[in-house]
Structure 1
Amino acid sequence: MTILQVVDKEFSKVPIIDISALISQTSNSSCVIADQIRQACQDFGFFYIVGHGVDEQLQEQLEDLSQQFFAQDLETKLKIRMALGGRAWRGYFPVGNELTSGRPDLKEGIYFGGELAEDHPLVKAGTPMHGRNLFPSNIPQFRETVLEYIYSMTKLGHTLMAGIALSLGLEKSYFADRYTKDPLILFRIFNYPPNSSLSKSEWGVGEHTDYGVLTILKQDNVGGLQVKSKSGWIDAPPIPGSFVCNIGDMLDRMTRGLYRSTPHRVQNLSTSNRLSFPFFFDPNFNVEVKPIELKDVVVNDDKSDRWDKASVHEFRGTYGEYLLNKVSKVFPELRQKVLESAE
């Protein structure tokens, strides 16, 4: 029996798409999947994927090692704190150190990205958000597991962007040819501690949209993710063998509002920790991202529709410039230290 057969329609209103034909590059079925992706992006901005081919044992190992890391005392975890990552913007941050809309999130986490050696041209040039990752030295296989997972998810990101291109009536290589042949990869492992007060006013991460093009999220079995649909907030609970995908502000901008980035939030009301593994597949840091010329699409730039009342269509410049402006608001103190170290 397949996953799709056992998932009750009321279990989640967010669409579930089997992308196995995209993985195997079966042309006829790829068109059907493209249609499903288009419908999901227009109606929800979110969709589950199954049939993605990412090794389950690798995912289980990643989850086990992450649990080991977060179970340690704060002093041990701070041995790979973000301040040590410098301009690469990598490492651990404690609960309350990351902000969403100026408010501290009730989560801790580790930032990762593409692993680049010190002699890489972008690292030598001091390009922000490029460099080596920080890994705990006391947990065997942590480094190897994270890097293998990043490799697998990068491959999946290329496949999904081909599907999104087809869903827009474009050549499947549209994004790879222009923006994501050498993508900016950002990977996070978040731990949401139990909400001791069980207050529904306290959020692990508050309402927000993602900055970039595509987010691929692995959830554990605790749940807590909510998506703002046209009819209100709905749960996006964990489904075995799936990832949750959502589009970000930059794809909203590129499609002139045809595909809307959707607000979402997280609340851990359980008595156990909640692990979350968001993987961000974004345009190259130095590329200028431009709107796609789509037929019969009118720009939807109604700021009143947006959770932050901001326009995603006004920005001009490289993706790196755009992203640095965004992340500087998440870690303002760290941003100042990075700037000071560069002077």
Structure 2
Amino acid sequence: MSTAFAADGFDRLPVIDVRALTDPSSSTAARKSVAERMGAACRESGFFYAVGHGVDAGLQSHLERLSRRFFALPAEEKMAIRMALGGRAWRGYFPVGGELTSGRPDRKEGLYLGAELGPDHPLVRAGTPLHGANLFPSEPPGLRDAVLEYMAALTQLGHALMSGIALSLGLAEDYFAARYTADPLVLFRIFNYPPGEDTAEDGQPIWGVGEHTDYGVLTLLKQDDAGGLQVKSRQGGQVCWIEAPPVPDSFVCNIGDMLDRMTRGVYRSTPHRVRNRAGRDRLSLPFFFDPGWTAAIHPIDAPALEGATADDASERWDKQNVHAFQGTYGDYLLGKVGKVFPDLKSEVL
């Protein structure tokens, strides 16, 4: 069977209370109940809202305030930590239009971050791309500490959610932790989407970020109340885009290409995009919880996936068949990052 695109589509994303996965005292039955809901969401849309996640609301608000203060700085202050200074670690600031999706500039500015690794870390000593130290601004004070605390909390939540995904496939809870995410590649972005015209001079729509799928296994997105996130569906045989509006104290969770590959297309990395029509800045904080750099990606042998096959190249935004990929997650990621920032490609590849 092929499940690259659900025939009946979906018209909303489910809201799932995941507290049973984050509370060690929860019963096995409660954990499996949450996992079943997550599995259904991964099969149907590849997206769900996670509530009851346990990430401190005060920390989230504090980081959001500091992020807005950073983006309000003069351009020259933000450019003091521009990505060109981040080298192979692929960290730092980029201005509006500095990031591309499918070759077209996105209308967003952002700060690229990741696990804080010193020069003595083995992967840093080896010159491994996307590993190293972050470039933190001097203003506003406290942003560094808030980012590192937030990433630690989201890493813990990522492990909990992946245990639920494992259970949903009939696997041991530590399946992914034991094979792929014992040392996850953790990448974090803080994006600001300014308002503006919807259409470019050539008549093409201007997107905050164009249609794309995420690369790894799981994304946890904190979005503000501006809205603008859209997820691709199909209803009545026609492709359509549904809104993923803000849900208070939630993370929008979606699976990436590598989990799609592992599950032979049963769990789908669904295309999504952003257009800011709020008439004001939109703040977005995507956190990527991905396989380790050297983790070799293979289809999972599980009863829930028996007989599944997939080739979704004709329906994907990039016309690529993710199920033909062979190699490590680092291999896959390197094949993607140079297209996002072509001017910095030589720093990483």
Residue pairs, 1:9-48, within 5 angstroms: 13-25=12-24, 26=26, 27-48=28-49
Using the size of structure 2 for normalisation, the TM-score is 0.91
Find the aligned partners of 2:120 and 2:44 in 1 and give their Cα distance: 45
Tell me the TM-score normalised to structure 1 length.
Answer: 0.93
1:281 to 276, 281, 289: 289
Kept in 2, the 8 Å contact 1:218–1:243? The answer is yes
Q: CA deviation at 1:46?
A: 0.3
Alpha-carbon spacing, 1:337–1:127, altered in 2? closer, same or farther (3 Å) = closer
Stretch moving more, 310-319 or 87-96: 310-319
In the TM superposition, 1:166-315 aligns within 5 A as 166-195=167-196, 197-199=197-199, 201-231=205-235, 232-295=240-303, 296-315=306-325
Deviations 1:43-76 (A, max 9, x none): 1100001000000000000000000000011111
**Distance in 1, Cα, partners of 2:245 & 2:189:** 19
Q: Which amino acid aligns with 1:116?
A: L
The 8 Å contact of residues 258 and 297 in structure 1, kept in 2 or not, is answered as no
Q: Is the 8 A contact 1:256 1:297 kept in 2?
A: no
Deviation sequence 1:134-173 (CA, Å, 0-9, x none): 1011211110000000000000000000000001110010
CA RMSD, 1 decimal: 1.2
Distance in 1 (alpha carbons) for counterparts of 2:120 and 2:64: 32
Deviation (angstroms), 1:307: 2.3
Give 1:122 deviation, angstroms. Answer: 1.1
Q: Which amino acid aligns with 1:182?
A: D
- Do the aligned residues in 2 keep the contact of 1:217 with 1:243 (CA within 8 Å)? yes
CA distance in 2, matches of 1:165, 1:262: 19
CA distance in 1, matches of 2:94, 2:220: 21
**How much does 1:101 deviate?**
0.6
Structure 1: unaligned runs, 5 residues or longer: 1-11
Of 319, 333, 343, 2:343 maps to 333
Instruction: Give me the whole-angstrom Cα distance separating, in 2, the residues matched to 1:325 and 1:198.
Output: 30
Hey, what does 1:58 align to over in structure 2? Answer: 59
**Unaligned 5+ residue runs, structure 2?**
1-10
Q: CA deviation at 1:302?
A: 3.4
**By how many angstroms is 1:230 displaced?**
2.5
Equivalenced residues, count: 327
**Aligned-pair distance for 1:102?**
0.8
Q: Which amino acid aligns with 1:237?
A: P
Tell me, yes or no, if the aligned pair for 2:129 and 2:348 is still in contact at 8 Å: no
Mapped pair 1:102 → 2:103: yes
Give 1:198 deviation, angstroms: 4.3
Q: 2:266 and 2:246 mapped to 1: Cα distance?
A: 27
How many percent of aligned residue pairs carry the same amino acid? 63
